[in-house]
Amino acid sequence: MAGTLIVGLDLDTRREAEAIVERLGEGVDHYKIGYQLFYGGDGLALGKALIAAGKKVFFDLKLLDIDNTVEKGVAAIAETGAAMLTVHAYPKTMAAARRGAAGSALSVLGVTVLTSTDDGDLADAGYARDAAGLVAQRAGQARDAGIGGIVASAREAEMVREIVGQEMFVVTPGIRPAGSDAGDQKRVVTPSAAVSAGASHLVVARPIIKAEDPHAAARSILADMAGGVRLA
C-alpha cells in the first residue's frame, strides 16, 4: 500500500478549516485536528461534523494525566466516532487509553518523540537516551500495551515497523516534500521516503494548508507517496 495522507488542519478558526476541506474535496478523506483548532476554533464540533460527512478524524490531543482521567477522556472522544487519538507513550497512560477505547473503532496512538525534538533537546529535558533509543523503547511499550499505533518521525519508521510488526499504525508527522521549508521541524522526511520506511499514515499540514493551491499540493504529495510503495 502507498500509505494514507492525513491533512493537518492547523488553523485558527473553523471557517478557515472548512474552506480547506472544501478546496481539497474528495481527494482527501483524513483530517487531523490539534490544539490550535480544537481549543480555539470549535474543533470538536468541526470534527463531529466531518465524521458525520464521512471523513476520518484524528484528534491530536496528546493526553497525559492520571489513569482514570485518561480513560474517561478517551472514552469521551471514542463516542464522537473519531478514528484516531493521541496520548503520550507512557505505559500507564497507554494502558488506560486502551481501556477507554475498548469496544469502539477508535485507534489510540502513542506519541514517542516529537519531530521538532533532537538529541540535544532530549538531553536538556533530562533524558539519558537519544531520540532513536527513546523511540524504540516507547514503540515496544506501545506494542505491549495493545494500542492501535504510534506516532514517530519517519526517520525512525523502519526501526519502529520492525518493533511493532505489520498490524499497528505507524503515523509520521514532519513530512516535507523535497525542497520545501522544514520550518520548526528537525527530523523531516519526504513523503515517498516515509512510505518506503514503513509509515502507514503521513500527517502533512503547512505544505498543503499554506499552499497557494492546496488541492494541487495534496495531489503532488499523494503522487510522491505512491512512488514510495512499501511491498513488505
- Which entry of 65, 119, 121, 130 is annotated as an active-site residue? 65
64 is in an annotated binding site: yes
Q: What is the pTM of this model?
A: 0.90
Is 176 annotated in some ligand binding site?
yes
Q: What is the pLDDT of residues 34-92, one digit of tens each?
A: 999 999 989 999 999 999 999 999 999 999 999 999 999 999 999 999 999 999 999 99
DSSP string, 185-213: -SS-B-HHHHHHHT-SEEEE-HHHHTSSS
For residue 92, indicate whether it is catalytic: no
* Residue among 53, 46, 52, 54 at smallest CA distance from 10: 46
65 is catalytic: yes
Integer Cα distance of 137 and 156 in angstroms: 12
Q: Is 69 annotated as a binding residue?
A: yes
pLDDT per residue as tens digits for the range 153-204: 888 999 999 999 999 999 999 888 765 555 554 556 889 999 999 999 999 9
Catalytically annotated residue among 56, 60, 186, 224? 60
CATH number of 4-226: 3.20.20.70
